[in-house]
Structure 1
């Protein structure tokens, strides 16, 4: 790693925990604690992203080195660096949880490459002062899911952390996968995650809750200086602009989630990034059949707080908590409230434009909201695969009849025998309106299809696909991890050789652990 340009801005400029013992404890008046990763017994590289390595200044040859495996498994510390875990608090499932912090994440360092700064963070590298009763480790199962999904999201155009490497630790880790009293040993693994930073809403919540207002001001100034340097003006103006920028970036991220059918599963305030990027891939999932009420998280199965259709509202709620945290620096509620109120208004406007783009429509109309609501209601009349439905709209031509248009998307139906009588009539009525609108557009079929194919992915990391890769990896076969990694780098391309992955969820995956519902266990 001789070419890495090391920077330690976070640890140099912000208050550190003076206690360097690795004991679980409440940590006051600080933003981080120094901590050493747990030494893995026999680290082995499963896969590394050449693209992400190049992004941070690591060559293809260095990926193959023993040093790479040692550094990104936590076995070896880079020169001139001192790993650390961040201290933050948060609301979990709507309830104040107090101090949380990096319980199984350790930041190695910050690096600079091509005038961009990145934080390199290991997930699953061992215990920290914030691990509470846990061991800070991660298992292969969850590590594969995070490694693949972060990269899949990037190539889908969704703001996200990146994945540099996936490494086996060589150790066994005890986990109760469904929290049902049946723990078992699993293979341990470590993922190296890459982002501008891993600063969360919860960092600000913690400082305000503890009345550490001097640190709060210093921390907000730090964020503006390094990540939002375009923000200028008097302090109060800057802090308001900081909040608005975070809100705008968050709105954009959620819009992309809804576009591709991604459900985060655990949108706690400590899992929300100030950069508006997707972080912490835990019990996430992808919509198979279109269902706004679906959540992949077993912990959330009763209240479904983090269900697909509620993600914009939860994002606004989380931003409200961030606004409360910044209030002591601003001392005016009204400007913060205006930003919060505009969040959903702006989101709804953006959402309408986004759905129209998925439909290949460039021209808005007065009845857009009704038109989209009717569509989303139809998608729920009988189980309808979201990804296949939107992608197969590219088979429709302006000259088609409503009946022919319905036939074009019939592969999206899980129970095609149900598409009759009232259900069929509803679909034919909607397609009649849709075709009428297509014929009012100035674009040709070819131009429309090009637009649609750029926003409607053909391939996403369906839950069963990830589980197949996990099952094979448990048997030391990593070929499927590599195959899916390559497939998901081009999610909008046809890739005819990979057509088998453009398919509805198989019946065996309906209730299989890891395919339908997941826990936070890792």
Structure 2
């Protein structure tokens, strides 16, 4: 197994001169540090699809060499692993230096003209671990591995995951911060992305008034990931910020489209490439609720709730704009881009929502139709994924009779609640919807095909991940593989997998890991 090593981050940016691995403030872009050796590594699962993108064969995936490298027990020749330094605003407050506290970058490589960075999450302490152990547990690692690949196949911009290995070590964790920690199985995930640079990578340099390194990092990022932008000029820096803003907005629109809630949109969890990064207490909407967050830490303020993700994206971009300001020294162009975000969001969100309900022409009443729909979805507990997927079954020539809700009835958690005023609200909406569809040129079948290409049938509901975790904890990795295979084709019908196209079961409503999760998740 050979890799075309093309390390750029460590060659072109300043390194921490201290080589010892202990917690400390680091005035550099990264620190060299090696992964912790694991006791008895075992491969839980690997992605053949992503492996192929990296030039890794299926035979390689089964090899001892692969297991050793991606469990952290051996290093690829001529590589020097490292952890990145960055800061960040956490829950709206500046947290100072953060950095890769439990992630170690193995190397950068090129294959088929694509550049990739590979890192291990849960591979031990780094100078940025603060009071933590730098390790990860099987539970959170399965969630990250499956979700990374699920999001990719949902066409959501994301980092990827190549493999997950058990370490054979036990890791002490207090899953819900109750003061009763327990030992769990340790694990390591190999995460893959073009780069893991974050908003916080720039913020820490502003906080330290290190404009020289800020300029180096910005030029490096433009050179390697935005090569069409002129490097080293005010015009180029403004364009860079504009493109990061556009990518961030695109990512967030996709989150809203599939009902994904990140749970921890701190600035250190925001990719400069507009990729979904750091899968912790995430979740998909079960009952449609704009106020829902899966994060126990955020349960009171709900800062990172589903309906607020676009606002937080903007707030985070303001922090990035402030970080880039020393290179531009002019607020007006940055402010114009941030103001444009608000306008663009409204346009893009409307376009996305219209695609979800199968409307592609322009009419003034479409905004009201969508606003009313979103209000109706919250009249009683309604599964977002099932509702939108089954909405494609509506016949645009249908007459609205008493059973008009039959195509979407499976989406309601309490079907008997759909009566009286609630039923009338829905009837009024469906009458307006069918009338609107009749003014569309598409046939029922063509509309259904387009709707089903943006409304997934299968998403990684938390209870599904929990079932995989519980089986894996007993040494059974078959559910991990079953869900991995399912999520390769989330928009397909997959008739043999209908058991996963259901509402969250009642037993999962308040079960740990199936509803609320902590940052330890």
TM-score, with structure 1 as normaliser? 0.99
What per-residue deviation string (whole Å, max 9, x for no partner) do you get for residues 53-86 of structure 1?
1111211111110010000011001101000000
CA–CA distance in structure 2, aligned partners of residues 141 and 364 of structure 1 = 46
User: Any conservation in 2 of the 1:200–1:274 contact (CA below 8 Å)?
Assistant: yes
User: Any conservation in 2 of the 1:47–1:166 contact (CA below 8 Å)?
Assistant: yes
> Quick check: 1:507 aligned with 2:498?
no
Q: Measure how far apart 1:365 and its partner are.
A: 1.2
Match of residue 360 from structure 2? 362
Match of residue 339 from structure 2? 341
CA–CA distance in structure 2, aligned partners of residues 353 and 402 of structure 1 = 26
Match among 64, 73, 83 for residue 75 of structure 1: 73
Match of residue 245 from structure 1? 243
CA–CA distance in structure 1, aligned partners of residues 313 and 397 of structure 2 = 41
Select between 224-233 and 403-412 the one with higher mean Cα deviation.
403-412
Q: Measure how far apart 1:344 and its partner are.
A: 1.8
Q: Measure how far apart 1:402 and its partner are.
A: 2.7
Q: Measure how far apart 1:460 and its partner are.
A: 0.2
Match among 94, 97, 113 for residue 95 of structure 2: 97
Counting matched residue pairs gives: 520
CA–CA distance in structure 2, aligned partners of residues 487 and 252 of structure 1 = 25
Evaluate the alpha carbon distance shift between residue 119 and residue 408 of structure 1 in structure 2; reply closer, same or farther with a 3 A threshold: same
Match among 207, 221, 224 for residue 222 of structure 2: 224
Match of residue 391 from structure 1? 389
What per-residue deviation string (whole Å, max 9, x for no partner) do you get for residues 279-317 of structure 1?
000000110010000000000000000000000000000
User: Any conservation in 2 of the 1:396–1:405 contact (CA below 8 Å)?
Assistant: no
Evaluate the alpha carbon distance shift between residue 436 and residue 273 of structure 1 in structure 2; reply closer, same or farther with a 3 A threshold: same
CA–CA distance in structure 2, aligned partners of residues 233 and 7 of structure 1 = 21
Match among 298, 321, 324 for residue 323 of structure 1: 321
User: Any conservation in 1 of the 2:219–2:231 contact (CA below 8 Å)?
Assistant: no
Give SS of 2:108's match.
strand
Match of residue 158 from structure 2? 160
Match among 254, 257, 272 for residue 256 of structure 1: 254
Runs of 4+ in structure 1 displaced over 6 angstroms?
Answer: none
What per-residue deviation string (whole Å, max 9, x for no partner) do you get for residues 328-363 of structure 1?
000100100010111121011101010110101111
Match of residue 490 from structure 1? 489
Q: Measure how far apart 1:234 and its partner are.
A: 6.3
Q: Measure how far apart 1:233 and its partner are.
A: 6.6
What per-residue deviation string (whole Å, max 9, x for no partner) do you get for residues 450-497 of structure 1?
100100000000010000111111111111000000000000000010
Match of residue 437 from structure 2? 438
Evaluate the alpha carbon distance shift between residue 233 and residue 74 of structure 1 in structure 2; reply closer, same or farther with a 3 A threshold: closer
Q: Measure how far apart 1:232 and its partner are.
A: 2.1
Q: 5 Å matches for 1:412-451?
A: 412-451=411-450
Structure 2: tracts of 5 or more residues without a match = none
Select between 268-277 and 399-408 the one with higher mean Cα deviation.
399-408
> Quick check: 1:265 aligned with 2:266?
no
TM-score, with structure 2 as normaliser? 0.99
Match of residue 375 from structure 1? 373
Match of residue 18 from structure 1? 17
CA–CA distance in structure 1, aligned partners of residues 400 and 91 of structure 2 = 44
Structure 1: tracts of 5 or more residues without a match = none
CA–CA distance in structure 1, aligned partners of residues 132 and 383 of structure 2 = 38
Match of residue 292 from structure 1? 290
What per-residue deviation string (whole Å, max 9, x for no partner) do you get for residues 344-397 of structure 1?
210111010101101011112112221111000000000000000000012111
- Alpha-carbon RMSD: 0.8
CA–CA distance in structure 2, aligned partners of residues 296 and 398 of structure 1 = 36
